[in-house]
Amino acid sequence: MNMDLKDRRKKGWGRFFRSFRYASRGLRNVFLEEQNIQLHLSAAAIAIIMAFVFSIPLIHWMILIIVIGGMFALEIINTAIERVVDLITEEYHPSAELAKDIAAAAVFVYSIAAIVVGVLLFYQPIVSLLFTN
C-alpha cells in the first residue's frame, strides 16, 4: 500500500508516476473525510464564482489562486500533523495536544489572511455593483 524502502531507492518514471497515485489517494481521503477542507472547498467555490461574475483582472485571479491553493495545502498539512500525532500516542499528552493546536492555529491565521485578501479583491466590484446606477 505504501512505498517501502526498496521503492524509495528506485529511480525512474515508475516511481515518479506512483508518487502521483499516492498523492491523489491522500487528496481524495482529505476531501472526503475532513469537514474543514469541505468548508474551504465551499468558500473557494464561492470566491471563484464571484471572480467570474465580476470579471476580475488576471493579477487578481493569480492572487486568488495562490490564496486558495495555500489554504488547501495548509489544511492538508494540518490534517497530516493531526494524524501523525494520533498515530504516535493514543493516550492524552499535553505536548500532543499542543502540537495539534499549533497546527490548527496556522490554518486559522492563514484563514484570516485569506478573508482579508478576499475583501480587498472583491470590495470594489461589490461596491460598484451596489452603488452604481
Active site residues: 75
The angle formed by the CA atoms of residues 83, 99 and 44, to the nearest 5 degrees, is 65
Tell me the C-alpha distance between 55 and 75, whole Å: 28
DSSP class of residue 54? T
Rounded to 10 degrees, the C-alpha dihedral 90/92/93/98 comes to 100
Rounded to 10 degrees, the C-alpha dihedral 86/92/94/97 comes to 40
